[in-house]
Amino acid sequence: MAETGHDGLKVLVTGAAGFIGYHLARRMLAAGATVTGLDNLNDYYDVTLKAARLKQLESHANFTFVQGDIVDYAMVADLFERTRPDIVVHLAAQAGVRYSLINPRSYVSANVDGFLSILEAARAQPPEHLIYASSSSVYGTNSKVPFHEDDPVLAPASLYAATKRANELMAETYARLYGLRCSGLRFFTVYGPWGRPDMAYFKFTKAIIEGRPIDVYNNGRMRRDFTYIDDVTEAMARLMALPPIPQQTAAGAGAPHTIYNVGNHTPVDLAAFISAIEAQVGMSAKRRMLPMQPGDVPETFADVARLAQATGFQPNTPLEHGLGAFVGWYRGFYKC
């Protein structure tokens, strides 16, 4: 049954063939929205997986796909002008912490210049709400947990994290200068069916099924706040109707820009995480213990009080449920 509240809404989703973009577009289509998806279908990971996601979306009459790169300013500006979206959800980016050590230029191009392209187009053709993807990686080497949105974020551990923090500052600037209503979402290790092959849960599942060893970094002494994809899209769907309103302070009106943590607020030890995957796969993992990798952090832990107060919702899917859904999808999709 279609959801209510989004009938007739015009939504532009960048990165629509990506993991989160695909799930959000599907969610919005089911709710009665008209969705335009933009993606450049790059080969950072298996393009056939992106094509398979896209095929699912293109079965909907209210979905239109545009293949293009967000760094193409003229194309993006024209797309905003033609579609005049009510809501823009900007998810297109160069993802991955470790890859930013290998190919840093791609992060500045896609994540910084690409986001400026979106902001400029939105300035010329303002949507009711611009929601963009940030990341828990902006907390960097912070040791205070749980991470709160007002914590200092001055010590990024990777260039990827630095570009995501740059996005937040860019959005703040455009909100302050031009009244562009923006919400930044700091995602905490999102997982689930149709996920990204470069993520640990995907790599672990594939290796265990194929009988190969898994790489366990920092000798397993890591904790992550794993967040199930359906919880992420639920939070995003609710936030769409809640564009920030400038708050009056003693110093004057603040910018209409809010940042939210989107996490399961329940960190899981890496050893317990691997055990949960083993239980779902029905096979034991062969572990290869390795030191901490550059760019990694030992723990992520989201304080989601701000999200809960704004939306009445906070992510809560148990890891076993989410991993069960992922492994079921993985075996079906890859026929293994």
Which residues form the catalytic set?
Answer: 160
Element holding 134 (H helix, E strand) = strand 129-135
Asked if residues 206 and 217 have their Cβ atoms less than 8 Å apart, the reply is: no
CA distances from 123 to 63, 179, 241, 245, 319 (A): 24, 9, 19, 17, 40
Amino acid sitting at position 279: A
Amino acid sitting at position 202: F
Looking at residue 299, what DSSP letter applies?
A: B
- Encoding tokens for residue 316? 């809560």
Burial, 226: exposed, middle or buried (Cβ in 10 Å; 0-12, 13-18, 19+)?
buried
Determine if the peptide bond prior to 291 is cis (ω within 30°): no
**Could you give phi then psi for residue 205, rounded to 5 degrees?**
-60, -45
The Cα–Cα gap between 291 and 134 comes to 27
